[in-house]
Amino acid sequence: MIDLHTHTTESDGSLSPAELVDRACAIGLEALAISDHDTLAGYDGALERARGAGLELIRAIEIGTRHPEPGKPRGQSVHVLGYFLTRAPSPILLEWLAGIQAARRDRNSRLAARLRELGLDVRLEEVEALGRRLTGRPHFARVLVGKGYAATVEDAFSLYLNESAKAYVPKVEPLAADAIAHLREGGALPVVAHPFRLAEGNPQREREMIAAFCDAGLGGLEAWHSDHSPADADRFLALARQFDLAVTGGSDFHGEAKAGVQLGTGRNGNLAVPRAALDRMRERAARL
């Protein structure tokens, strides 16, 4: 059993990198990829523990991107995974990632300023204390509820944080094609995460988007995922064959932060990623 898509406290998961390694060993995982949002810090924090335990640890990352989509002014959200199977990330890629992290922090500081303009006592530091490296709107919502500015997290979003609400500040995300190209040049195998979210199951649109991503240098598709039905998995396995892409899979484990998803086995045992997939990813990455 292997799991190639997981999150730790370095992004929005609830287990620390070392705790995640311990959990992986306890359930008998052979290989684990840590793929936190926008940061490689989870891998760094887990490496020593994994070595000591004899667990094969893979350095990975997940990046939120946008792809132009008719009828959607902000484009379609696309999550891109990068797997560093044969090379460490290049300095140029690390610099690009630092830019993404800076854009997130800048958005948060503008959001805090906007809330203060509206007369709400919200400081960036108190929000960041909840969110650490991956502070975002959910953490703002919790602070707003804690201070009595909103009754619930949902209220906080509808009153202040949603795209149509009065404190909304857009987040700048890279284009999917640019992220794919940067990851590839920087030493990673770029993979579209949970592709069932691309086009709400519209097979023709999925195919068009994947073709565009292949032009940018896509290396794989996440065919197996906790939120994929068996039919989704079959469709993406077929697309991967058609476009000559590697296939990957993972639970998208977040610990307590995503109830119902188990490390290695997904939702109610709906996941079983074959070890052979990792071997094929490595072959593929060696040709990058």
The contact set with Zn ion (CB under 5 A) reads: 62, 79, 193, 252
**DSSP letter (8 states) at residue 259:** T
Comparison of 177 and 193: residue with beta carbon closer to Zn ion: 193
- Rounded to whole angstroms, the Cα distance separating 234 from 253 reads 22
H-type alpha helices, 195-274: 203-216, 230-242
Instruction: Please tell me whether residue 155 adopts helix, strand or coil conformation.
Output: helix
CB 277 to Zn ion: min, Å: 17
Smaller CB distance to Zn ion: residue 124 or 233?
233
DSSP state of 175: B
- Taking CA atoms, 132 is separated from 68, 168, 175, 281, 287, in Å, by 30, 21, 25, 32, 36
| CB-based closest residue to Zn ion | 79
- Cβ closer to Zn ion: 10 or 252? 252
Nearest CA to 191 out of 55, 288, 69 is that of 288
Closest CB 115 distance from Zn ion, rounded Å: 27
Question: Residue 34 CB, nearest distance to Zn ion (Å)?
Answer: 11
Q: How far is the CB of 38 from Zn ion (least distance, A)?
A: 11
Nearest approach in angstroms of CB 194 to Zn ion is 6
Structure tokens at 212: 């565009």
Closer to Zn ion by CB, 61 or 216: give it. 61
29 or 143: CB nearest Zn ion:
29
d(CA 237, CA 224): 9
Inter-residue contact 34 to 8 (CB < 8 Å): yes
